[in-house]
Structure 1
Amino acid sequence: MNKMRNSVLLTVLLLQLPVTTTKGGHWEDYKYGLQNSEQDKKQFCCSWKCLLFTLQWPGGFCQSLNKETLCRIPQSINTWTIHGLWPLQAQHCCSCWPMFHSDVQELEAELSEHWPSLVTTKSSFHFWRDEWRKHGVCAACVEGMNSPPRYFQICLKLRAQFDIHKLLEDAGITPSCEQPYKVEEVHSVLVPHLSDRHEIQCVTDDKDREVWFQVKIPLSHNLTLGCDHHGDAEDDLATGSNRAWSSSPGHPCPPQVPFYYFPIDHQQPKQPCG
């Protein structure tokens, strides 16, 4: 019953969005003016069946950075944030659809709250723009995500749907420097809400501790939980081999090794536990 309800709720997300268009010639060029080579490339990039909606935990994300000075956590950030929405087996689909600040101006406050940049070398807008260029243009094959505003609206709605912080807190799983957790106990809390295909990811900190920093949630083409594509996507979720997120510094949290769910420290983001 929970799976059916989640499926209906996620599918309805697309239907709730207003019809939006991007002003100027760029959208018209993309929609009507592609040359054959670009059309062929677009058709290839639209062959994806599944997406990964990825959330990151700021207290753990900072452990993935090489330099302490690279990390920043805005004072207003105290929960899980968006990393991206990535079509599997699709990357850099089209360079002909740029994104401008005006595309997300009306969403900027909400994006800053739920999708901030956590590195000092990149502004939040540049983070969003990079995600659109790498992944959003591939997701744009779906009508409900066929513009920057629609793509980011969907991401924000998914973030509201998957309130991981509350799910964990209700189960007594809270950030701690002393209490490690096991993969099995976290999975048992998240499976009813994220499907059994989700993946929790860790990074190894400078003290060789496994630190939780990311959750990847597989979604089908119509944004329902799980993924019905039993080919590349299934292998990718198991091995982490997909190009769309192979550059991620994380790895699946080892089932037999307890991991830490570090608290957020705004003053010392890379050293929350000393």
Structure 2
Amino acid sequence: MGITRMIYMVTMLFSLLVSILSSSTVGFDYFQFTQQYQPAACNSNPTPCKDPTDKLFTVHGLWPSNKIGRDPEYCKTRNRRKRAKTLEPQLEIIWPNVLDRTNHTGFWRRQWKKHGTCGYPTIQNENDYFETVIKMYITEKQNVSRILSNAKIEPDGQSRPLVDIENAIRNGTHNKKPKFKCQKNNGVTELVEITLCSDKNRAHFIDCPNPFLPGSPYLCPNISIRY
């Protein structure tokens, strides 16, 4: 084999590999459905929120994820059906841009491009992505605020042990382990996010892989978590 042909074949193989890795065929292992508690999300943000917050967990994102290695991002789209305008009134309630309520659409667009595009084939297109989140939060009752309220845990600013919060979430997700994100604000540890995890087909809840490890600034302690 001549050197020119060998170089050509190596180049073609490299191009094919890049194409595969950059497309939605890379795949993923599971979904993270992450919701953020609005007051704590604002408190942990370097830039103050522009508007008053609600004492609610609202959607941060639905993220195709991997148990090992990096999560997929910015994948190619196969079906270009755009988000329907009729979905926006519901999205503004359950998926607001907490940090800047004048730019909900920019927030949704970033979530779709970075994460939603990688959910194929479970997520078919942009409209399906947002319809799926609405279904999860409302119809399937994966609303973290509601799950906690059903367990008599309300956003009253009390400090609680992590086990009480975890047990409440487990009761609403067939005893599967959620993922928690906390952050300190003026010496007080606040509950910032709760993530529910499901398999890649969104058919079943699973124990969330990859919790924050000891030493992480986002690790929730066992006691004294404000919510």
TM-score, scaled relative to structure 1 = 0.65
Judge conservation of contact 2:83–2:127 (CA < 8 Å) in 1: yes
45 and 237 in structure 1: CA distance in 2 versus 1, 3 angstrom threshold: farther
Counterpart AA for 1:251: Y
The residue aligned with 2:26 is 45
Specify the SS of the correspondent of 1:72. Answer: coil
The residue aligned with 1:259 is 225
Judge conservation of contact 2:63–2:116 (CA < 8 Å) in 1: yes
Q: Per-residue displacement from partner, 1:54-97 (whole Å, max 9, x unpaired)?
A: 011112111111133x34346xx552210001111333242667
Aligned runs of 1:219-230 on 2, under 5 Å?
219-227=198-206
The residue aligned with 2:62 is 85
182 and 140 in structure 1: CA distance in 2 versus 1, 3 angstrom threshold: same
Counterpart AA for 1:151: Y
Tell me, in whole angstroms, the C-alpha distance in 1 between the residues paired with 2:52 and 2:84: 22
Counterpart AA for 1:208: G
In percent, how many aligned pairs have the same letter? Answer: 19
182 and 148 in structure 1: CA distance in 2 versus 1, 3 angstrom threshold: same
Tell me, in whole angstroms, the C-alpha distance in 2 between the residues paired with 1:63 and 1:78: 13
116 and 258 in structure 1: CA distance in 2 versus 1, 3 angstrom threshold: same
Specify the SS of the correspondent of 2:146. Answer: helix
Specify the SS of the correspondent of 2:61. Answer: strand
Counterpart AA for 1:192: N
- Pairwise CA RMSD: 2.9
Q: Which of residues 198, 212, 216 is equivalent to 2:191? A: 212
Q: Does 1:172 align with 2:152?
A: yes
Tell me, in whole angstroms, the C-alpha distance in 1 between the residues paired with 2:194 and 2:133: 15
Q: Per-residue displacement from partner, 1:123-157 (whole Å, max 9, x unpaired)?
A: 11010000011100101232xx1111101111111
Q: Which of residues 90, 96, 99 is equivalent to 1:116? A: 96
Tell me, in whole angstroms, the C-alpha distance in 2 between the residues paired with 1:111 and 1:223: 20
Tell me, in whole angstroms, the C-alpha distance in 1 between the residues paired with 2:59 and 2:42: 14
Q: CA deviation at 1:211?
A: 0.5
Segments of 5+ residues of structure 2 without an aligned counterpart are 1-14
Counterpart AA for 1:150: D
- Larger RCO: 1 or 2 (CA < 8 Å, sep 6+): 1
The residue aligned with 2:163 is 184
TM-score, scaled relative to structure 2 = 0.78
The residue aligned with 1:125 is 105
Q: CA deviation at 1:162?
A: 1.2
Q: Which of residues 232, 237, 245 is equivalent to 2:211? A: 237
Q: Higher strand proportion, which one?
A: 2
Q: Which of residues 137, 150, 160 is equivalent to 2:128? A: 150
